[in-house]
Amino acid sequence: MSDNNAFLLTRGPILKPLIAFSFPIMLTNILQLLFNAADIIVVGQFVDETAVAAVGSNTALINLLINLFVGISLGATVTISIKIGAKQDSELPDIVHTAVAMGVLFGIVMAAVGFLGARTFLTWMSTPSDVIDQASLYLQIYFCGTPAFMIYTFGRSVLVPTGDTKRPLLYLTISGILNVILNLILVIVFHLGVAGVAIATVVSQILSAVLMMRALFRLKGPCRIYPERIRIHRKPFSAIVRLGLPAGLQSVVFSISNVMIQSSVNSLGTAYVAGNSAANSLEGFVYSSMDAFSQGCMTFSGQNFGARRYERLNRVYGISILCNIVIGTALGGLTCLFAVPLLRIYLPEAPDALTAGAGRLFIIVAFDFICGCMNCTTNMLRGMGKSVFPMIATIVGCCGLRIVWIFTIFHSVFATGNKTDAYHALLISYPVSWLLSFAALFLFYVITKKKLDAQAA
């Protein structure tokens, strides 16, 4: 059901279509990360370590503020996937117009919250005094672009279930190139520092939103968007929120734990903040590569669940898990192997920050494949219409454990006065929480699948 043909995943092989579907998503995810990475690299090369800390320290906070709505957009993806699998095309127009309207509304809300609360949020996070002014400025400018970001995100949630993963990639490629060019011009030529990279990001987001809406206006079939019909329809809104809100709340609580970890890192000083920021940026590329196959798993499971092809679900899940493990192990290993050269791209003259960044990569990225398996299982269950338990498992297994970890193990090691040991103790909470959450999610998937098989018998 892309522009000309039905995009159905309920018959035939799985591996090759999953790779063909997920690979453009992987490249799209990587390009999205390049927005922030380009900001950090440019200020690291042409400004200073403090500017790197100012831009990088905002990542966890930005994710906290926008992930609720990004999670809700997954509800639109799942809802559309299920309707396509069930061949209920007549219900799609109201769903897609509601999704776009939600993107506009949520974008405006986040712009207001982020702009007005920037400095307050950063103060709550114990942002170092030599960083907070630049960090606040970056954050305020960044959030001026969230309406465009949300329009692109919810527009993408309409395109992807139809099998069109290439155009989102194309649009982010174009806007990503613009972002890099503007970064260099505004920082090197006009000496705008963190303000320059923030402006470049906003302009790029606006371009990607314009291109996305242009594509949606020109689609053929029931997923085409008509400007005069963009509004929130009650029934589709309820369906999207029912499936997406647990994912959004999961992401929010997940981000809260990351903000608390970022606050703990901030308490260690600027070198740790800068090194952690650079390593977190590199880690994001590994994570996003795996997450593309997790998103593919969600669309594949959603269509097969909607078509009641329950016998295919284990194959979808197993192949998706395998892809996550292969990609996570390969990319994670390469990132650790070339840790210092990669970090020097961000931090050319900051040896203490380099040491901190390398520590994060060796502790977290080496085990990122566990995170990939956890996310894959979560999205598999979402495609099957199960969003509440993944939310609970992640909140308890990841977020709850990390918060307890901060107030017990981290604080205990921090009290000894050894910042490096405290930093490493903090980071160990990531792989431990991933493993516990994955175990719970896998068990729930097995139980859910057995119930579906019994219903179908």
Please say whether the beta carbons of 72 and 245 come within 8 A: yes
Structure tokens at 377: 């299982």
Q: How much of the chain exceeds pLDDT 90, in percent? A: 59
Domain total of the chain? 1
Q: Does residue 337 have a pLDDT over 50?
A: yes
Confidence grade of residue 3 (pLDDT, cut at 50, 70, 90): very low
Q: How much of the chain exceeds pLDDT 70, in percent? A: 98
Domain membership of residue 130 (yes or no) is: yes
**pLDDT for residue 442:** 97
Domain membership of residue 43 (yes or no) is: yes
Domain membership of residue 405 (yes or no) is: yes
- Average pLDDT over every residue of 134-160: 94
Domain membership of residue 4 (yes or no) is: no
d(CA 217, CA 239): 23
- Helix, strand, or coil (residue 117): helix
Q: What is the pLDDT of residues 393-415, one digit of tens each?
A: 988 988 889 889 999 999 999 99
- The phi-psi region of residue 233 (left if phi > 0; otherwise alpha if psi is between -120 and 50; otherwise beta) is beta
HSE, CB side, 13 Å, CA atoms: give it for residue 266.
26
Domain membership of residue 55 (yes or no) is: yes
Q: What is the pLDDT of residues 209-236, one digit of tens each?
A: 999 999 999 998 899 999 999 999 999 9
Domain membership of residue 457 (yes or no) is: no
Domain membership of residue 1 (yes or no) is: no
Cα 298 from chain centroid?
15
Q: Does residue 1 have a pLDDT over 50?
A: no
Confidence grade of residue 432 (pLDDT, cut at 50, 70, 90): very high
Q: Does residue 205 have a pLDDT over 80?
A: yes
- Average pLDDT over every residue of 237-244: 93
Structure tokens at 268: 């260690």
As to burial, measured by CB atoms within 10 angstroms (0-12 exposed, 13-18 middle, 19+ buried), residue 278 is buried
**Mean pLDDT of the residues in the chain:** 89
Domain membership of residue 2 (yes or no) is: no
- Average pLDDT over every residue of 65-89: 89
Q: Best-predicted range by mean pLDDT among 40-44, 227-231, 252-256, 283-287?
A: 227-231
Nearest Cα to Cα of residue 390 among 242, 250, 241, 240: 250
Residue 407 domain boundaries = 15-452
- Average pLDDT over every residue of 415-431: 92
